[in-house]
Structure 1
């Protein structure tokens, strides 16, 4: 029996490309301008194709944590991690999150099924809380595990494991829902059910070898749960 759903945030609650693709290429150019380095070099670190203004499916912006990206930007830009973080935090607050569905009623319906809900994200806690609050998700979440909480970013399974442990759940009773291979590897490593959704940068064919199930988006989750009973 599934007793809890642990969601990824970006690309799972949100349409990843609709949210970020119109913003990230220009952010890359602004950072290159402000640090006086090549836009191509910054784009390479983020995993962005500036010729097409497109985020690469397995680029670092999709898969890596903030700290992992900053560690590569420091020697390139000559800026400190603190200065880069301040620059990024100010920029990212302007991004309008495009949710897959109206989250408050959606999450409320899942809770009425008796499910415990949480989020595990490779975003920093401050960024995650800002976005989840704007989405109206916070009242429905029992626990949030962020990349700077000490468990390491996904695909490390430690954060997902801690979610289950803290709530007294067996890992096998938790479905981890996400749009990326980092999510599916974290689910597998934690002993959870990995459910892929295609609202990120990967299609079903790319997710299927690594997921227990693949759905078009989170709105298909209730039907999938019904089919398990």
Structure 2
């Protein structure tokens, strides 16, 4: 029996390219002080193409934490203080233009009406995660929110997912992890949960399917999947 669903944020609740390309462009241009060529070079460090506003399939932006991204960028920024860079990245992240993968409020209301507990675990920091849920008007529908700095570790380790289980009084086998990246699916596997991949991130079916119980086009397909599980 399924008692809870944990969502990744970027690429799952929000379309990855439409949300994070603007953040990456703003960040690299700001760090390069408007020098487009230098901004393009910084973008390549984190797997972002400034010209096309797109990400490489293995971009560390997809699953990395702000601290990890700062560590990659800092050697290319003379005098950079990584902690201050992390703060700036989080500030820019809180203000990204959000693009919902599907209309979130009706979907989440429907899941809660089934009696499910709803969680969010992200490798983004907790502050921008709460900011995004508030701006999307769905913060009240989440029972649990954890970022990479919430004290539970970061994906692909299972700490955030197990913290959700402990807070909700659920066993891992009663929870489904939903995400767009291998970090999400590996975290779910390490936690002992069922795993659903979605295609609103950068990874494709061929990459996600070997590590997921199923791959769906987007989270809008979750109610039908839940109905099939109940029927089975």
Contact kept? 2:12, 2:201, Cα under 8 Å: yes
What is aligned with 1:48?
48
1:26, distance to aligned residue in structure 2 (A): 4.5
Q: What per-residue deviation string (whole Å, max 9, x for no partner) do you get for residues 54-88 of structure 1?
A: 21122011120111111222333121123213332
Gaps of 5+ in 1: none
What is aligned with 1:175?
176
Contact kept? 1:25, 1:54, Cα under 8 Å: no
User: For the structure 1 residues 201 and 36, does the alpha-carbon distance in structure 2 shift closer, same or farther, using more than 3 Å as the test?
Assistant: closer
What is aligned with 2:211?
210
What is aligned with 1:28?
28
Contact kept? 1:16, 1:199, Cα under 8 Å: yes
RMSD: 2.0
What is aligned with 2:85?
84
What SS does the corresponding residue of 2:215 show, helix, strand or coil? strand
What is aligned with 1:119?
120
Gaps of 5+ in 2: none
What is aligned with 2:68?
68
1:102 & 1:51 partners in 2: Cα distance? 29
- What is the TM-score with the length of structure 2 in the denominator? 0.91
Q: What per-residue deviation string (whole Å, max 9, x for no partner) do you get for residues 119-176 of structure 1?
A: 0000101010000111112111110111001222111111111111221110010000
1:23, distance to aligned residue in structure 2 (A): 4.3
Q: What per-residue deviation string (whole Å, max 9, x for no partner) do you get for residues 20-65 of structure 1?
A: 2244234323212379994354223321133533211220111201
Deviates more, 1:63-72 or 1:178-187: 63-72
2:218 & 2:71 partners in 1: Cα distance? 32
What SS does the corresponding residue of 2:14 show, helix, strand or coil? coil
- What is the TM-score with the length of structure 1 in the denominator? 0.93
Aligned length: 229
What SS does the corresponding residue of 2:98 show, helix, strand or coil? coil
Contact kept? 1:155, 1:186, Cα under 8 Å: yes
